[in-house]
Structure formats: structure tokens, C-alpha cells
Amino acid sequence: MSKRYNIPSTAALVAFESAARLQNFSRAAEEIHIAQSAVSRYIKELEERLQVQLFIRSKSTRNGLVLSSQGEQLYRYVEQGLNNIKSGIDVMHSTSAENELIIACSHEISHLYLMPKYENLAKAIGNNVRIRLVTSDDHFFDDSLHHQVDIIFTYKNPYRNKQRYAKIYTEGIRPICSPSYFQIHEKQLTCTPSHWTDLTFLRLDRLNPGWATWDDWFKNKQQNVSTNDLNFINFDNYVYLLEAAVSGKGIALGWRGLVERYLSMGSLIGVDDNYINLDRKLFAIATDKGLDNPFSKNCLDYFKGLE
């Protein structure tokens, strides 16, 4: 029996993903190198096929365009699907490559942790070694990846052999916000967190497994605050959440290892002086395939040197 997928064209889905992420049809057209009229046509075709409105005109946003609730839901599925396809193609394209190291990690680890260190990491691994990043929405990876990539960033470390892994950091969280947001709300933010209840909090509505929540932070601070009474803006991507914090939209939870660049640049500041340490560690581990790749050891040694 043949199996056919009754889904819109890839071109329409790519156009929608770009328009939804950029919230602008013109910029989406520039990004994917087609005419703006083509983007509009693809969106119209999707809306007619799905019988929903994907975008809403809004005077409150800079671009004048926001996703509807149905559009937000579709965007999450399309983004994940396209990323999975890209990751699969990247892995297959890399299987026969020499002088190459393939690293699997989440989008957050790739963008916020690895990319600021990329130049130094490349030097440590070796000259003329190509580094390929395979990204996922998750922090846990299927066992099949052990035969496809060399290094995996994960919170699950099954190995006792210290030559096979490097500890990246112990997870810790602290509230962060932009300097402008702090200045406006300084009186409240310098009081105990029980006085923060009328502020705006930024949170992930699609947490990676085990990630801490605002409930966890208030509980650790021994503050009797019900998050049901707080004003939240939700995000499905931590990078987007941090950008909203930078623009002064509210208070975010900052994860050790992921927000240092923002803090060092001063675009975000810590509301609380110290991180709350959680009993979870991020590891870089060498896979079964990675054990046969001499560049894996160079990679792990580089991260061990940062401990």
C-alpha cells in the first residue's frame, strides 16, 4: 500500500515559517528570495486549505502583523518539522565526510552557548576540521544518534568513564531583565519577590524536559507566590524570550551558561545577585561513532578546560 502525505507544498510551509518568524511578508520574501506577492499567495492558499486565519493585522506591533492563535499553533509544528528535515539531511550529507565533527544539541545550546565559543572551539578541535551542528527542540536525543553524530549535548549522561564526557555546567537560574525595565520597576524589584506580583513575567510554554519554572524559583526563594495570579507572556523558544527581555517586555529566568553574553554586554542584568543551583548538569558526551573520531577527544578536552 502506498503512503501519501496530504500536506501543503514545502514552498508554502517555508514561506509561512519565514513570515511567521519575521512577522513581515516583505522580509520573508527577501529571506527566501521570492516576490512578496508569492509569499502572500502561499499564505492565502494555506488559510483557504486550513479554513483558518493565520495572521492578524495589529497597530500595537512594529510590523503591524501578528500570528493568530491558530497561526501560532501551526508555526510550532512547521518549525519543528522543517528543523527535523534539515537535521536529517545534514546528518545524511555528513556520513561520508572526512575531517568532520558532528555535534547534536538543542537550539538554545547551539545559539547561546556554542556559537559565542565557536572560533575557539574550532581552533581546539584542529585546523581544517569542519564542525556541523545538528539541532533539535529537545535536550534529549534518540539512541540512533549514537551512530550518526560524534558529540551530544544532553542532561542524561550514561557513562562513568570520564574520558567519554565533559561536564559543561551545573544548571542554575536567576531572574534577569533589561536595564530600562529595572529602572522603571526598581522600587518593586529591590523588595522581596512577594512584591513583584503586578509585574510582567516571561516564560516558556514549551519547556525542555526538566527545565525549571517560575514556580520552582519562587519555591526556592521561600516566597508564597501563586503563579496563577501573575501576568505572563509565553514563548516557545528561549532565544525569542531573551530578545523580548532585552526589549523591556518583562522579567525572564536566566539559565547559567546561556545568558552570560547578554549579561556581559549589559543588555540584560541580574535582578537577584546569585544563581539558584539545581541538581542537573549539562554534559557533552562522545557517542559510539564519536569514539572512532579523533576530533571528539579534542572537543571534550576543550570543554573540560572551561570547567
Predicted confidence (pLDDT) per residue in 164-196, tens digit: 999 998 888 999 999 999 999 999 999 888 889
Q: What are the strands, taking DSSP E only, across 82-199?
A: 100-106, 130-136, 151-154, 165-177
Residue 82's contacts (CB-CB under 8 Å, 6 or more residues apart) are 13, 14, 17
Q: Looking at residue 141, what is its pLDDT? A: 56
Kindly report which listed range (76-80, 119-123, 186-190, 241-245) carries the lowest average pLDDT score.
76-80
Handedness of CA 144, 150, 153, 156 (dihedral sign): positive
| CATH fold group of domain 170-277 | D-Maltodextrin-Binding Protein; domain 2 (3.40.190)
Domain boundaries, the chain: 10-80, 85-169+281-304, 170-277
Q: Do domains 10-80 and 170-277 have the same CATH topology?
A: no
CATH architecture group of domain 85-169+281-304? 3-Layer(aba) Sandwich (3.40)
Q: Looking at residue 1, what is its pLDDT? A: 45
Q: Is the separation of the CB atoms in 137 and 80 below 8 Å? A: yes
| CATH fold group of domain 10-80 | Arc Repressor Mutant, subunit A (1.10.10)
* % residues pLDDT > 70 (the chain): 87
Kindly report which listed range (60-69, 125-134, 156-165, 286-295) carries the lowest average pLDDT score.
60-69
Residue 32 has pLDDT above 70, yes or no: yes
158-193 burial string, b = 16+ CB within 10 Å, else e? eeeeeebbbebbebbbbbbbbeebbeebeeebeeeb
Closest CA to 231 of 251, 201, 254, 186: 201
Pairing status of strand 130-136 against strand 100-106: parallel
